[in-house]
Structure formats: structure tokens, C-alpha cells
Amino acid sequence: MIPALIGAGALLAALALAGFAALLSFWAGWRQEAVLARAGRRAVYAAAACLLVAAAALEWALLSHDFQVAFVAEHTDLVTPVPLVVAAFYSGQQGSLLYWALILSLLGSASLAAAAALGVRLAAYAAGVLAGVLAFFLVVLVFLASPFDLLAFPPADRLGLNPVLRDRGMLIHPPFVLAGFAAFAIPFSFAVAALLAGRSDSAWMAHTRQLALTAWALQSTGLVLGMWWAYHVLGWGGYWGWDPVENVALLPWLATTAYLHSSQVQERRGRAGTLRAWNFGLVILAFLLVVFGTFIVRSGVVQSVHTFAVSPIGPWFFGLLAFLVVLSGGLLAFRARMLAAQRPLELAANREGAFLLQNLLLVGVAAAVFWGTVLPLVSGLVSGESRVVGAGFYERAAGPLLVVLLALLATGPLLPWRRTHPSWRALAWPAGAGLLALATLVGFGVRDPVPLLVMPLLAAGLATVLFEFGRLLRRPRRLRVLGYRRRHYGAYLAHLGLLLLAAGIAGSHFWQQQRDVVLRPGETANVAGYQLTYQGTLQRDLGDRSELVAVLRLGGETLEPARVQYPSLGGQGLTRVAIRSTPLEDLYVILAGGEGDSASFRILVNPLVTWVWAGGALLVLGVAFGNLGAGRRPSPVAAPVPALVRG
């Protein structure tokens, strides 16, 4: 009761402060009043402090099992383990919105603290937009989805989390995705502020570069953790189902990936205004996709295997989306003359050209994913008959674009900046590696054209990255070079991670093997060279749950796929898959059921899945290495120009 009162009060105070900050900041920016602008920023910091208090109050309510608070009663019970009680903060609708607002206010405050150098008007408008977005979330939190609503008749104990959510993957996956979503709002705020202020220079971009990268890294982590959780817990043998909920998390990631590359072109050639309008557009698009995704997920307008509490906040997010589309579209049109480049990008085989082509392809992939996601909605409205698409659609529509992107990943980094006539000799390495991979695959009897195209392209990309690190090793004082060009090498490390991840996805997609078997004790199944002997089942009683474990012997090892029952939760079951990972392939065993003394299994062999997780980790490590603490960067002119063109 007391934490709920404190929390509700803190939210109300945060709303007042955010609303005040928004109005004051816009006024200060309009009048160019530095003192008022500073006051506006401080109001944002104060709102962040209030949100911290509200978050602490919610954790307090959760940990003290204050079942009078509806949110606590609906998401936890007395036997829920403490880490899961803590995590219930962001597992429910209201709590996740509070977490989102909290991250937005904290990262926003951090970015505003250093914004004064951008000039009064830009900094004030940025604070205004940011506070406006924050105020929207607080309106939702205070009036529509408060985590501090009280129950008239509090229960003594409640149902806890669903068993499939009782997993460490679920503890860490949502906060990363949500924090990534929240972080996208900050580059957006500065971009809109620059448009409002009529500033066509790249200062807003330089200022939010770290945060854009942070947002991207958080999103990448969240996506890979979500895949990891689905693979280990959901027990269907895969990790990506092209479900709308997954798609809407992927969309802003695609837009931001494009932006991280195209922004480099503007960084190098900013004075000519090259790609200036495009970069504004991409940052705005990324955040619009975040809002769109939130609308899709929280409104229930699209059928998904994930059920989120369908609530009245859907229309509100649709309203925000519509408002932001009109606002940013109008601003871009209004500033079109200012944004026009004095020197447009020439069509040439150089680094800029590769980046722009990559951007167009990424936007194309995003368009395909977007279309597949909204098709049920659009077709239902147009013809009254709802059409849905499955994985096949995404593979056919986005697959060819992804293949061209892989080719760019192998060639783009070797193309020089600015020049229009590159030396094609540089491409000898990736081309050689690709041909070698092709010959190897053909030698191993692969005849399917798609793997024969994709795998050599991945090998070529790998050669390109290794070539770059090889050049570093040949240089004198290589550690110093690694240090002052860490952004460069961090990016290559991220490329390496992406290539591994792509190889893992490709391998498990092309060469997954599957067999369903029914075994009696003592019988052996032979799947893809694995001899699995079924020894029988055993029953384990573990307090709140009981497990039926099937024991399978594989050589000297034991695999124990199981079915877990939670009698207290309506008898819901949980499949626990047995996974035996090696660097080359996973043996993935699902216990499907049993009759008498026989048991049935679905056995999958998933090649290269470990590479997906390793690649994801490397991807994020690369971004972290390249950017954490890398505030100082030699100017592009002073940076050594790659000597590659000279061969």
C-alpha cells in the first residue's frame, strides 16, 4: 500500500515535470534563452529522478509481496523465486512501460547533460522533444496503465509466472529489447530538434552517435537473447519464427543498421550535405518503427503467437504514431530546401556507393518484413479476408536482398572512400576465399544452388575481415594503431560477428535434419550418425513441479529430455529439451510423449547454431570495443587513408 502511494505520487510528479520541461524547453528554444533552457533540462533530470523513485517503489511492492497492488498480484506469487520477482518489474504491461520511461529519462538526461555545446536552440528543442515523448509515456502510465493500481480485495497468494517464462533467458531478454527501444528515442529527439531549429549541420549526429550505437547494441543483444531463449526453452528446434512480435523488434534494428553506415558518409562529406536528408529520414524512421511495433504488440491488431494483454493503450500508441508521422514528414518537407545536398553522391564503385546501396537494400528488407507483418491487417481491411504469410514469404522476399547484402559485406569494406575507379585487385582475397569455399562445398557433395551461393559469399566476407586484421598485424606499432583506430577495428569485429551469426543461421537453415522416433527401452535410433539408445524414464519430484525424464545414452554421454509438470498451475507442462552442442552442430532432442513403456522423440540435428550465439556476442563486443570511451577520434583528414588501393 505505502510503496504504491509513493510510486503513484512519483509518477504524477514525473508527468508534471516532463510536461513542464517540454513547454519550457520549446519556449526557451524559440526565445533562445539559455537560462530557461537549462531549467528545462533540469526538469528532465528531476523527472528521471522521480521515475527512479517510482521504479524503486514498484520493486519494493514486488519484493514485499504487496498483493494489494494489482500488478504485484497479477505477476508474482509467494513461491516465485526472488530473481523472477525482481524481473516481474518489466515482464508485465504496466511495469514494462515504466521501465521504458525510466530508461528513456536516464539516457535522455545523459545526452542532454552534454548538449549545451550544441547551441541554445538545438539543445532546448531536443530537450523539448525528449520531454514530450517522456510525457506521453507518463500520461499512459498515470491514466491508462498504472503499475500502482490497488485491488479492493487483495488475495492471500496468487498465480505466478508461466513456466516458460521462468528462465534466465527471460530475465535478461526483455530489458535489452525495451532499453534498445527506449534509446532510439534520443537520436530521434535530436534529429527532430535540428529540423525544428533549422540546423542542417551534422552536430546532432555527432552528439548522438554513441547513443545510436548503444541503442543498436542493446537491440542486437535483445534480439539474440530472444532467439537463444526460444531455442532453449520453447522446444521447437528453431529460434526465429517470423512472428509479428519478432518482426517489429527487427524493423528498427534494420533502420538503425542502415543509419550507422550512412552517417559515416555524412561525417566524411558533411560540408557538401551528402546524404543529409537521408540520415534525418533514417533516424526518424527507426523511432517511428519502434512506436509502430509497440502499437502492434500492445493492441492485438495482428495475430501473433505471443499474447500480450490487449489493453486500451493500443489506440494511444496509434495516435502517437500518426502524430509523429505527420510531424516528422511535415518537418522534412518544410526543410527540404535546406537539406538538399550541394553535391549529391556520385554513382560510383566506392565506399560511399557501397554504403548507399547497402542502405537501400536494408530499407528493402525492412519493407518486406513490414509488409508481411501488416498484411493480415491490410488484407482484412481491403477484402474482408485476412491473409497471412509464413516463413516462406520472408525467405523469398527478403532472402535475395540479404544475399546481395552479403556480397556487399565482402566487397564494400575493400572499396576506397571517394575514388571512383577502385583497383579491383583488392577483391582478389574475398574472391579467392569464395571460390575455395565453393569448390569445398561441391567436393562435399552440396548441389543445392542456394547454399552454394550463400556460403561462398560468407567465406568471402570472412576473408575481407581477416585481410583487414592481417594488414594491421603487418604494421609497426600495431597495438597503438589498434588503439587509435579502435572505431575502425571495432566495426570489423562487429562484421566478423555478423558473418558468424549469418553462417550459423544459414547452416541451421540449409542443413537441419529431423526425425521422429518411437523407442522402447533398450532400442537405438540412428539419426545423422548419432546412435541414441533409450534406457527408460524416471520420475523426479521437485516441490512445485514434477519431471518425467527420458534417459538416452549417446556413447558415454547421457541426454535427459524431460517433460515438467506444474500441478499448482493448472497442470501446465513444460518441455525441457536436451541439447548437446559442439562447435559444428547441435543434437537437439525433444521428448514428445509416451505410451506404456515406449517414448516418442523428435530428434533434430542443427548445424552451426552455436555460431549464432558466438557471432551475436562478437557483434556486441565489437561495438563496445570500438566505441566505449572512444571520445577522441582523429579527424578523417588526419586518419591514415587505407593504402589498399595501391595494392
Partner 1 sequence: MSGFRWLGVGAVLAACVGYLIYSAGGAAGNYYVTVAELRAHPPAGEVRVAGVVQDDVVRGEGGLLIHFTTAEGGARLPVVYRGPLPDIFQPGQQVVVEGRLDGDGVFQARSLFAKCPSRFTAAAG
Residues linked to residue 534 through DSSP beta bridges, in sequence order = 552
- Comparing CB distances to partner 1, the nearer of 112 and 365 is 365
Question: Closest separation between CB of residue 254 and partner 1, Å?
Answer: 13
Cell numbers representing residue 553 in the block: 545414452
Which of 525, 590, 605, 620 contacts partner 1 by CB under 8 A?
A: 590
Residues 101, 329, 251, 413, CA torsion sign:
negative
What residues numbered 225-264 form the site for partner 1, per CB under 8 A?
234-236
- Distance set, CA 51 to CA 148, 321, 368 (Å): 13, 24, 38
Which of 376, 412, 615, 626 contacts partner 1 by CB under 8 A?
A: 376
Question: Closest separation between CB of residue 562 and partner 1, Å?
Answer: 12
- Comparing CB distances to partner 1, the nearer of 118 and 302 is 302
Q: Please say whether the beta carbons of 449 and 471 come within 8 A.
A: no
Give yes or no for residue 599 binding partner 1 (CB under 8 A): yes
- Comparing CB distances to partner 1, the nearer of 224 and 562 is 562
Side-chain half-sphere CA neighbours of 97 within 13 A: 31
What residues numbered 74-93 form the site for partner 1, per CB under 8 A?
74-75, 91-93
- Distance set, CA 589 to CA 351, 539, 546, 592, 598 (Å): 46, 18, 19, 9, 16
- Comparing CB distances to partner 1, the nearer of 377 and 472 is 377
Question: How far is 48 from 59, CA to CA, in rounded Å?
Answer: 17
Taking contact as CB under 8 A, which single stretch among the options 55-63, 424-432, 447-455, 586-594 is the one that binds partner 1?
586-594
Which of 152, 153, 385, 474 contacts partner 1 by CB under 8 A?
A: 385
Give yes or no for residue 375 binding partner 1 (CB under 8 A): yes
Which of 423, 513, 546, 598 contacts partner 1 by CB under 8 A?
A: 598
Question: How far is 470 from 453, CA to CA, in rounded Å?
Answer: 26
What residues numbered 389-448 form the site for partner 1, per CB under 8 A?
389-398, 400-401
Question: Closest separation between CB of residue 344 and partner 1, Å?
Answer: 3
**Considering only CA atoms, which of 206, 213, 331, 320 is closest in space to residue 277?**
331
Amino acid occupying residue 572: Q
Q: Please say whether the beta carbons of 173 and 218 come within 8 A.
A: no
Question: Closest separation between CB of residue 544 and partner 1, Å?
Answer: 13
**Considering only CA atoms, which of 562, 563, 559 is closest in space to residue 530?**
559
What residues numbered 458-497 form the site for partner 1, per CB under 8 A?
none
Question: Per-residue x/- marks for partner 1, 18-57, CB under 8 A?
Answer: ----------------------------------------
Taking contact as CB under 8 A, which single stretch among the options 220-228, 368-376, 407-415, 580-588 is the one that binds partner 1?
368-376
Question: Closest separation between CB of residue 599 and partner 1, Å?
Answer: 6
Which of 27, 30, 60, 371 contacts partner 1 by CB under 8 A?
A: 371
Radius of gyration of the chain measured on its C-alpha atoms: 27
Give yes or no for residue 592 binding partner 1 (CB under 8 A): yes
Question: Per-residue x/- marks for partner 1, 139-178, CB under 8 A?
Answer: --------------------xxxxxxx-------------
**Site size with partner 1, rule: CB under 8 A:** 71
Taking contact as CB under 8 A, which single stretch among the options 56-64, 183-191, 495-503, 591-599 is the one that binds partner 1?
591-599
Question: Closest separation between CB of residue 303 and partner 1, Å?
Answer: 7
- Comparing CB distances to partner 1, the nearer of 330 and 390 is 390
- Comparing CB distances to partner 1, the nearer of 55 and 234 is 234
Taking contact as CB under 8 A, which single stretch among the options 256-264, 301-309, 405-413, 448-456 is the one that binds partner 1?
301-309
Give yes or no for residue 58 binding partner 1 (CB under 8 A): no
Give yes or no for residue 388 binding partner 1 (CB under 8 A): yes
Question: How far is 38 from 103, CA to CA, in rounded Å?
Answer: 21
Side-chain half-sphere CA neighbours of 186 within 13 A: 31
Give yes or no for residue 344 binding partner 1 (CB under 8 A): yes
492 DSSP 8-state letter: H
- Comparing CB distances to partner 1, the nearer of 133 and 356 is 356
Quickly count: other Cβ atoms within 10 Å of residue 2's Cβ. Answer: 11
Question: Closest separation between CB of residue 159 and partner 1, Å?
Answer: 4
Q: Please say whether the beta carbons of 575 and 589 come within 8 A.
A: no
Residues linked to residue 448 through DSSP beta bridges, in sequence order = none
Beta pairing class for 578-581 and 585-595: antiparallel
Question: Closest separation between CB of residue 185 and partner 1, Å?
Answer: 24
- Comparing CB distances to partner 1, the nearer of 101 and 302 is 302
Q: Which residues contact 567 (CB under 8 A, 6 or more apart)?
A: 545, 546
Question: How far is 524 from 528, CA to CA, in rounded Å?
Answer: 13
Question: Closest separation between CB of residue 158 and partner 1, Å?
Answer: 9
Cell numbers representing residue 214 in the block: 548503444
**Considering only CA atoms, which of 84, 4, 1, 13 is closest in space to residue 48?**
13
- Comparing CB distances to partner 1, the nearer of 487 and 602 is 602
- Comparing CB distances to partner 1, the nearer of 87 and 211 is 87
Residue 153's φ and ψ, nearest 5 degrees, are -125, 90
Residues linked to residue 553 through DSSP beta bridges, in sequence order = 533, 558
Beta pairing class for 545-554 and 557-559: antiparallel
Give yes or no for residue 518 binding partner 1 (CB under 8 A): yes
- Comparing CB distances to partner 1, the nearer of 518 and 614 is 518
What residues numbered 562-581 form the site for partner 1, per CB under 8 A?
569-575
Side-chain half-sphere CA neighbours of 544 within 13 A: 16
Helices marked H in 32-119: 34-63, 70-75, 82-91, 93-113
